[in-house]
Amino acid sequence: MSSEHPAIKAMKEISEFAIRAAEVIDVSEVDKMVDMLTDVYRRKGKALVMGAGRSGLVGKAFAMRLLHLGFNSYVLGETIVPSISKGDVAIAISGSGRTGLIVDAADAAKKVGAYVIAITTFPESPLGSIADLVVRIPGRSKISKMDDYFARQILGLHEPLAPLGTLFEDTAMLFLDGVVYYLMIKLNVSEDEMRSRHANVEF
């Protein structure tokens, strides 16, 4: 009998990691995040999502769904981003919590009075120390073998089939999709309403 296909094996490992990660995410942190987002939504404030590399792509996907929900949502680095101000919310995504561009951007947002939510594996990181709220998402970091050991041993992933920051990025994507569903409930927004805000001019 042939061994399992490598792509399918990796897919299963990543999925199993995300399930284990979901079991250790602190739901009180999730509730606080959703409360902060709900507040900015009702005040018609801005939500600025920031992340670099693949974490940035995860952030773009989340910002899109926030837009569908009716938020004034933006992505750091885009040409149409307005200034962020006091009472707005910045959602910073970085597995290591040490990505210079994101730490600097979060610090700048904090200095003008915006609330900073950090999505990271390391609450004690530079990003975590800046944030008003840290939501800890377990994941394997691309920069440290010690982080790899934590991910494999604590969460039961024994083979590093997902390179670099894949585990954090994939888990963060699933988590933020879960947050979108939670916001739909909290804000009483239907899928039909979200569809009405979806782009109707596409490539």
Q: Which residue has tokens 């040490």? A: 98
Rounded to whole angstroms, the Cα distance separating 173 from 141 reads 15
Q: Which amino acid is at 117?
A: I
Q: Which residues are catalytic?
A: 169
Element (H, E) at 120: strand 115-120
Do 114 and 48 form a contact (C-beta atoms < 8 A)? yes
Instruction: For 2, list phi and psi in degrees, rounded to 5.
Output: -75, 155
> For residues 134, 136, 139 and 141, what is the CA-based torsion angle, rounded to 10 degrees?
30
Residue of 117, 159, 144 lying closest to 31 (CA atoms): 117
Residues β-bridged to residue 133? 117
Task: Measure CA 94 to chain center.
Answer: 8
